[in-house]
Amino acid sequence: MRTLKCRDAGFDCDGVIRAADDQEVLNLAGKHAREVHGVTVTPALADQLKLLIKDEQESDSKVRQPTI
């Protein structure tokens, strides 16, 4: 799963876009930016957004046992 935090893109927004691959994240991010922020994602902006897409670390949501 790939994720993009809207905040990482410079918006004051808690939106997180999740999708199976980068292209789908970009599609959803473009829709979100247009509908929520009134911003059109240009090809140049899309290139920047690609750099902000991260793999979701599903194990992070679980409690980690400290190594003793």
Question: What are the residues binding Zn ion (CB under 5 A)?
Answer: 6, 11, 13, 15, 36
> What does the block give as tokens for 56?
């979701």
By beta-carbon proximity to Zn ion, the closer residue of 12 and 55 is: 12
Nearer CB in complex with Zn ion: 1/36: 36
Q: Please report how close the Cβ of residue 60 comes to Zn ion at its closest, in angstroms.
A: 21
Q: What share of the chain is helix, strand, coil (3-state, %, to 5)?
A: 50, 15, 35
Closest by CA to 27, choosing from 10, 50, 56, 60, is 50
CB of 26 to Zn ion, least distance (A): 14
